[in-house]
Structures are given as structure tokens and as C-alpha cells.
Amino acid sequence: MAGLLALVLLFLAVASVPALATNHDITWVTGVDYTGWASEKSITVGDTITFQYGGSHTVDEVTKADYESCSSSASLRSSTDGNTVILLDEEKTRYFICATGGHCLGGMKIAITISAASTTPPRLPPPLHRPTPPRPPGAPRRSLPPQRTRQPRRRAPGRTAATPSPSRRGT
Ligand SMILES: [Cu+2]
């Protein structure tokens, strides 16, 4: 019994684990408009972004104000290794620019909005839905009971129908 309980608890623990972290690759070059890049993706806490770039570029994390003014003089961090992985561990917007002269103004600036990690709802088994079984082919269709419709009073069977109408005589 205790074993079963442990199993159930383990299942619940596994089911409540947030979705797996995603890495988002950014090819960090000039001539690309990164505006709105993050809004097209679902970036959540725990994800990573990887900047890939050549030797003439840098990845500088800056404040919002410095992002807007393309100033890298007070960078929060700066990377030049060509393959910079940033862990997005907080729900906020982070700003990155290239510190090489003119590159930020040329478009090498990106704002990344990180949303709260989404927890996937536990996967429930499909509801027990019992569809009515199809009628097997060839099974006799159950005949409906004869409908009691209002019918004209039945005359004596066979008599009147056989005699020709008197009005039709003589034409
Ligand atoms: Cu650059």
C-alpha cells in the first residue's frame, strides 16, 4: 500500500515539472532587424539564448536606457567568445547590444522579454466515453410500431371501391 502511495506521489511530482527549457539561437550579425524577435517566440524563465557571431562583434548586456541609446560604456557584462550562452533565469526584459562602433545603431540590439515559466498541466487520461456501438450490418432494423394516425372511418371492405362511380356513366 505504501509502495502504491509512493508511486502516486512520484507521478504527481513528475507531472508538475515545468516544460523543458528551450535554447534559442541568435545569429548575431549586422543587417538584421532584431526588433520584435522575442515577441515572435515564447521565451520563458529557464530558457537560454545562444549568440553566435564572428570576431568583429560583442554581446554586451546593458540597461534599457543604454539599449535605447546604443551605449556600451556601462555594460553589465560583455562577451566576445563568439558563442555566448545566456541563461534567462528571471522574469524580466533583458537588453543586449553589440559594442563594436556603429553596429548597435546598425541594428545589432535586441530586447528579450522573458515570461514566467509555464507549467504543463498534468496529462489526464482521455475521458471514458462509450460511443454507442454501430449497428452490425445486416441486423434487422427494428420496425416502429404502426403509427396511429387519424384515418377516415373505414367503410365495409371491398364493396365501394369495386363499384364504378355513377357520375362517370354515360360519357
Ligand atoms: Cu557587431
CATH fold for domain 25-113: Immunoglobulin-like (2.60.40)
C-alpha triplet 25, 30, 32: angle, nearest 5°:
65
pLDDT digit string, tens, across residues 90-118: 999 999 999 999 999 999 999 999 999 86
Q: What residues flank ion ligand 1 with Cβ within 5 A?
A: 57, 98, 100, 103, 108
The Å distance, Cα 22 to ligand 1 centre, comes to 25
- φ/ψ of residue 54, rounded to 5: -85, 175
Residue 50 bridge partners (DSSP):
25, 85
* pTM score over 0.85: no
pLDDT digit string, tens, across residues 133-171: 666 666 555 555 655 556 556 555 555 444 454 554 444
The Å distance, Cα 36 to ligand 1 centre, comes to 19
CA distance 72 to 117: 30
The Å distance, Cα 106 to ligand 1 centre, comes to 9
If 0-12 CB within 10 Å is exposed, 13-18 middle and 19+ buried, where does residue 55 land?
exposed
